[in-house]
Chain A
Amino acid sequence: MLTPEILFAGLINGLMAGGIYVLVAVGLTLIYGVLHIINFAHGSLLMLAMYAVFFLWRKPLGLDPYVALPIVTAGSFAFGYLIYRALIGHFSHGKDENILLITLGLSIIIDNAALFFFTGDTQTIDVAYAGRMLSLGPALVALPKLVSFAAALVICLLLGLFMTRTDMGKAIRAVAKERQGARLVGIDVEGVMAISYGIGVACLGAAACLLMPTFYVSPTSGYAFVLIAFTIVALGGMGSFKGALFGGLIIGVVESICGLWLGEQLGQIGIPLVFILVLLLRPTGLFGAAR
């Protein structure tokens, strides 16, 4: 039975999961907003960052995932910047399906390279605080989930400040709005695009550090996030930050409530159904500008 207490607990847990989804989706929506490309490799890049967290945590380094956060985030930024410069940038002026196919190819390569080098085994890290529970009213919440929720929102806030208060942020928004105009006023458009892609991937690095204490990684674990991230971005509106924020929290709750209501198996249907319904009924999403 779905008593109000269970529903409340589901709501809280959904919101906690939603925090991470926000972080993953903000990266995707930034890349879409600036580059107008749908980054199908998003899940694979997240998976790669999760492996980075795992290998940093393992001996001999033994780094705590939260301590590793700045390192993995910076490393992800550099990696994203490089693949944009080396690969995606060359093809980004063609048809949008072509970019989708290129990023699909990229995700095939990353997934199978992970399978080849790291085997298909599921890896987890265990940290002392993973099982610590806090009670929020009638709901019990694992401490790392609360941390990840708060940290994800703080990172989004910082990103928002960066976008509105710094010159680079203004340049990124200028390129997103009007590429030609930005070039005319002397902005290095290609450089801004590579940096935007890097920031999008850096969000994944941060998300990976926040996820790993309670999640696992295997070469296929990125795929689970691809559809979630696309759903959030479609729901919130492609390219909209506010949309990614609310969309992420909504999708976290939808997933949690569907799981309670329809059971663990059938409950997974909530996310693809929301995705399909949003695209069919309101393709601009909640906050997207009409296209």
Chain B
Amino acid sequence: MTRQGLIFTGPGVIALAAYPWVFRSNYAINVGFLILFAAYLGQTWNIAGGFAGQTSFGHVVFFGVGAYVSTILQTTYGVNAWIAWPFSALAGAFTGWLIGVLSYRAGLKGSYFALITLAVAEVGRIVANSVPITKGGLGILVRADPRAANFQFRDTVWFYYIALALCLLAMVIAWQLTRTRFGARLAAIRENEDAAQALGINSFREKVKCLTLSGALCGAGGTVYVQKYLYIDPSIAFGVDKSVEMLLVAMIGGAGTVLGPLIGSGVLHVIGELTRDLGNMLPGVSNAQPLSIIVYGAVLIAIVAWLPDGLMGLFRRRSKDGHHA
């Protein structure tokens, strides 16, 4: 990490940890949770989509598989939620491995890879809607019993800290990708896969490893979601909105950067809340939620067109101009 990065890290972590003490309202803590959680999921997208260039349109499939595995273990087989949690990560990892092996064997790249992940998520949604073990479209309710031993908390602040811990963990992993040989191999594949292979990189193996890692992390996120809301259904678990959100926060903040997803998530949520509040003030508007999503779409186009490195690109350009010239 750069010196600049180190200077920001300490105070940044302290500020995030102190946030619930400064803003005590449930609303503020919930918004904080949403920002951190979306940043975490966005980082899992970023590990594959940003660092390795494997743009996915169906990343939610890992989240959904993870959410259902731990929830079914809990409600049908009576397994404790904490013990079920690692199985979600395993299920996500397996799904990532499977998608990776199948689609990279077939040589799918770029848009084709993106579309196949979209189709796999759709298969997940249809299966979850149809088979008895997921209770179909009704979804699964987890019995509320708020005790720490059950991975349920009366006070939202605990989920805030769990999301913060996950977010930091994913950032450490992403940071490792900027300084390890594995990360360098992924970057080489992203920039020019043929050249990477000519240098002796086994791009198939590296890409599968990367997608497995990303799937494991994203799957673990599924459990946290269910434990917080105590409910899951097929359109939450496999809906295209979540895939798009993961992609958006990473792209807007800066794909392939450590801080990108967190910054993207923060900016998107603030824009979203502001647009909604402003929209609700317009005469005759009862629900301004779509307005904020329209803004997301416009921001995505603007970023792809003019700021391919995302908001982080702005910082980097400035620091390059200032210090290293």
Residues of A within 8 A of B (CB): 38, 87, 90-91, 95-102, 104-109, 112-113, 115-116, 223, 227, 230-231, 234, 263, 265-266, 268-269, 272-273, 275-276, 279-281, 283
Contacts and interface: CB of A to CB of B under 8 A. Distances in A.
Interface residues of B, number: 44
B290 A96 contact: no
Interface stretch (B81-89, B166-174, B293-301): B293-301
B294 A116 contact: yes
A230 B126 contact: no
B244 A104 contact: yes
A273 B290 CA distance: 31
Contact of A108 (B136, B288, B297): B297
Contacts of B297: 104-109, 112
B294 A113 contact: yes
Contacts of A38: 111, 115
A100 B111 contact: yes
A97 B296 CA distance: 18
A224 B308 CA distance: 30
A87 B301 contact: yes
22 contacts: A38-B111, A91-B304, A95-B110, A100-B114, A101-B304, A104-B244, A104-B247, A107-B297, A108-B297, A112-B291, A112-B297, A116-B287, A116-B294, A265-B129, A266-B130, A269-B127, A279-B103, A279-B106, A279-B112, A279-B116, A280-B106, A281-B106
A111 to B, nearest CB: 8
Contacts of A113: 290, 294
B129 A101 contact: no
B103 A223 contact: no
A276 B120 contact: yes
B115 A230 contact: yes
Nearest to B299: A105
B207 to A, nearest CB: 15
Contacts of B55: 97, 100-101
Given A116-B290, A276-B119, A109 B298 contact: yes
Nearest to A32: B111
Contact of B122 (A90, A105, A227, A281): A227
B142 interface: no
Contact of B116 (A107, A263, A266, A276): A276
A108 B300 contact: yes
Contacts of A273: 123
A280 to B, nearest CB: 5
A96 to B, nearest CB: 5
B300 A104 contact: yes
Contacts of A87: 301
Given A102-B301, A116-B290, 12 more contacts: A90-B305, A96-B111, A98-B304, A100-B110, A105-B298, A108-B297, A108-B300, A112-B290, A231-B119, A269-B123, A276-B123, A283-B112
A113 B292 CA distance: 10
A227 B129 CA distance: 18
Interface in B219-246: 240, 244
B107 interface: yes
Nearest to A281: B106
B80 to A, nearest CB: 32
Most buried by B among A104, A227, A269, A275: A104
B119 A275 contact: yes
A256 B119 CA distance: 19
Contacts of B251: 101
A116 B291 contact: yes
Contacts of B136: 265
Given A105-B297, A105-B298, A265 B107 contact: no
B304 A279 contact: no
B238 to A, nearest CB: 11
B108 interface: yes
B103 A97 contact: no
A285 to B, nearest CB: 12
A272 B296 contact: no
A95 B55 CA distance: 12
Nearest to A115: B290
A227 B291 contact: no
B211 interface: no
